[in-house]
Structure 1
Amino acid sequence: MGSVKDLKVLKKPNEDQEGIGRFKFSDRYSIFDWGEMPDLIPHKGEAIALLGAYFFEKLEEMGFKTHYIGLVEDGKAKKLSQLEKPSSEMEIKLLNVLEPPLHQDGYDYSAYQNLKGNFLIPLELIYRNYIPEGSSVFGRLKRGEIELKDLGLDELPSPDEKLEKPVLDVSTKLEVTDRYLKWDEARAISGLSAEEIEELKDALKVVNEVITSEFSKIGIVNEDGKIEVGYNSQRELILVDVMGTLDECRFTFNGLPVSKEITRIHYRGSSWHAATEEAKEKNRTQWKNICALNPESLPPHLKDLISKLYCSCTNEITGQEWFKDLPPLKEIISDIGGELDGK
């Protein structure tokens, strides 16, 4: 079980062949690496599964390989066009996941150095079309952890300025707390060649372009997002997990958030958020165990609006009314803005 989705293994992968599994997208949500938060967002799981399936099918039409098989209805995996009602269950091909052991001197990635194929690449690939005020990017630059050239930039952009070309960033995927990396370090720990790293970057660029284009059709800006990748048994790059959803991307409409950033804004500045930051400063790997506070529940009206937002975006992007009797998307976003202003 993950913080927001569960995995059922139907057939385990082995060294030579992918397995088969099913993601069950739940109504749970997670922010600030906390894991499961106290509330469930109604219909969120179905909305995420449908939107994720939409982008997998679109990218497959463009020639990308993915781990997506279909959404499950009546026990069978079906494509979107075959579904009669929303589904929160996705059938996928499973890759081997090698979690790096943690030693006193850090994580040990030696197992990745001689792998042939059929494994999850232990990286999270991030694109940034905008860099908002307060972004980790500015902090990393200020501390000297990275330089502008590491991000493909010639000069420091202003906060919330649309970038001339997207920044491609990378972090760890399988550590307790995600850790940003330089691309050379990402290549070293994952055992990939320089050419394979460039292939990852190229895939990230195209996925960004597709998501950006689709959301721009409904007036929504794709500010940043992430994808996960792996190699199949033939060591062909495949797109995995899910992408293009309101959990994987940060979208805005006239400056208002259209993603799970809404929940981050609600909690940011709270006593609980301050306690998580304090705990992380004390212990980067065991911080949750020593955090002094637990998060409180969302206000009921805000939770209802977030549910409607997930459902409405899925309807709008897929062009199909999976969820009925919703107010216009722009009205939902406006109401959320009012809730956040008045919190």
Structure 2
Amino acid sequence: MERKPLRMGSVKEVYDLGRELEFRFTDRISVFDKVIPSLIPQKGETLCREGVHWFMRAKRMGIATHFEEFLPPNGMRVKKVDVIEPERIRPESKNYLIPLEVICRWYAAGSIYDRLVEGKVRPEELGFPRGRKVEYGMPLPEPFIEVSTKLERIDRLLDKREALEISGLSKDEYDQICETVLKIDEDIRREVEPRGLVHVDGKKEFAFDDERRIMIVDVFGTADEDRFWDKAKYEDGEFLDLSKEFVRQHYRKTGYKDQLYEARERGGAEPYIPPLPAEVIGEARLIYIRLFEMITGERFESYGH
């Protein structure tokens, strides 16, 4: 079968197989839409196998997916859909990537907490009583779903009206996606909590198949798409990130994240993202392996060695 490079993404390579695609998950890592000039050994394999784990569970729950076959150690074969620019999408369009990222948040953490502190989001929008002082790490009274752009250079949050407009979704289809997200997240929580994880938040992507049925695509429930905390430490009041958030926090502590966002606010040149120190790379590798084992319940033994 002919295998043509299609997209060499920041962390994932996509190859065209004709009617299908092949994903290859690399050891590259990105944060804040910037690719870090460092590799995390075995990261790609752990992410791929986590993705396969959740696709198999989704199929057993009757949720349509694009997953076809695991290609050890770090690849998978999936159904191919078209990528259509939003202005060309019509209500009758089929077999295309829905140009949205759907984020579901269960705790006050990450960017939603930053927006609370900055006053860009009010506590009552997250289900808290008006004027409630929200502390970092508090569980939200109800899951908070928001959507952002998928095909733009930098992700941009959308209200529901604009999300429907650029995606070609009907209100019923939008609601179906939200219900699917909640169903999957409940399954993730049931799976990982007994193994010592708190599922904090995560993103998911969807597409229509050739009969305009919604299916979940890309991957989800992995260390790059989702945020996980150590459950025992969370119960003791500590927030130990077992995910890519560990790397994000490194760049927060060094001040790089603030410099980057200030440059974006000014519309100026973005600062170069420095490589990770060796000790951060080593710790990140162990986090990815540990998280794989806690997500899947399997001991990590690399197919590559």
For normalisation by structure 1, the TM-score amounts to 0.78
1:235 is aligned with what amino acid? R
Matching residue within 91, 101, 116 for 2:77: 91
Q: Which residue of 2 aligns with 1:256?
A: 240
Q: Is it true that 1:24 corresponds to 2:24 in the alignment?
A: yes
Q: Tell me the CA shift for residue 259 of structure 1.
A: 0.6
Q: Which residue of 1 aligns with 2:296?
A: 318
Identity of aligned residues (%): 34
Cα offsets for 1:314-340 (capped at 9, x unmatched): 12332322337xxxxxxxxxxxxxxxx
Q: Report the Cα distance in structure 1 between the residues aligned to 2:273 and 2:152, rounded to whole angstroms.
A: 23
Counterparts of 1:94-133 in structure 2 under 5 Å? 94-99=80-85, 109-132=86-109
Q: Tell me the CA shift for residue 114 of structure 1.
A: 3.5
Q: Tell me the CA shift for residue 157 of structure 1.
A: 6.5
Cα offsets for 1:281-333 (capped at 9, x unmatched): 122xxx6xx22x32222221221121122112212332322337xxxxxxxxx
Q: Which residue of 1 aligns with 2:65?
A: 66
Cα offsets for 1:244-269 (capped at 9, x unmatched): 00101111112111110011110114
Cα offsets for 1:154-213 (capped at 9, x unmatched): 645713211222111111111111111112221122121111111011011111111122
Q: Which residue of 2 aligns with 1:47?
A: 46
1:306 is aligned with what amino acid? A
Q: Is it true that 1:2 corresponds to 2:9 in the alignment?
A: yes
Q: Tell me the CA shift for residue 275 of structure 1.
A: 3.1
Q: Report the Cα distance in structure 2 between the residues aligned to 1:98 and 1:153, rounded to whole angstroms.
A: 38
Q: Report the Cα distance in structure 1 between the residues aligned to 2:273 and 2:115, rounded to whole angstroms.
A: 27
Q: Which residue of 1 aligns with 2:258?
A: 274
CA RMSD of aligned residues (A): 2.2
Q: Which residue of 2 aligns with 1:182?
A: 159
Counterparts of 1:300-319 in structure 2 under 5 Å? 300-319=278-297
Q: Is the CA contact 1:124–1:227 (under 8 Å) kept in the aligned structure 2?
A: yes
1:29 is aligned with what amino acid? I
Q: Report the Cα distance in structure 2 between the residues aligned to 1:186 and 1:140, rounded to whole angstroms.
A: 25
Name the SS for the 2:21 alignment partner: strand
Q: Tell me the CA shift for residue 72 of structure 1.
A: 1.1
Name the SS for the 1:37 alignment partner: strand
Q: Which residue of 2 aligns with 1:195?
A: 172
Task: Specify every segment of 5 or more residues in structure 2 that has no aligned partner in the other structure, as ranges.
Answer: 1-7, 234-238
Q: Is the CA contact 2:127–2:141 (under 8 Å) kept in the aligned structure 1?
A: no
Q: Which residue of 1 aligns with 2:3?
A: none
1:320 is aligned with what amino acid? E
Q: Which residue of 2 aligns with 1:142?
A: 119
Q: Which residue of 2 aligns with 1:15?
A: none
Q: Is the CA contact 1:119–1:230 (under 8 Å) kept in the aligned structure 2?
A: yes
Q: Report the Cα distance in structure 1 between the residues aligned to 2:117 and 2:147, rounded to whole angstroms.
A: 13
Name the SS for the 1:217 alignment partner: helix
Name the SS for the 2:36 alignment partner: coil
Q: Tell me the CA shift for residue 148 of structure 1.
A: 4.4
Q: Tell me the CA shift for residue 274 of structure 1.
A: 3.4
Q: Is the CA contact 2:36–2:276 (under 8 Å) kept in the aligned structure 1?
A: no
2:13 is aligned with what amino acid? D
Q: Report the Cα distance in structure 2 between the residues aligned to 1:64 and 1:154, rounded to whole angstroms.
A: 35
Q: Which residue of 2 aligns with 1:336?
A: none
Name the SS for the 1:257 alignment partner: coil
1:298 is aligned with what amino acid? L
Q: Report the Cα distance in structure 1 between the residues aligned to 2:41 and 2:210, rounded to whole angstroms.
A: 37
Shift of the 147–179 alpha-carbon distance from structure 1 to 2, 3 Å rule, reads farther
Q: Tell me the CA shift for residue 135 of structure 1.
A: 2.9
Q: Tell me the CA shift for residue 42 of structure 1.
A: 0.3
Q: Is the CA contact 1:311–1:323 (under 8 Å) kept in the aligned structure 2?
A: no
Q: Which residue of 1 aligns with 2:33?
A: 33
Name the SS for the 1:117 alignment partner: coil
Q: Tell me the CA shift for residue 221 of structure 1.
A: 0.5
Number of residue-to-residue matches in the alignment: 286
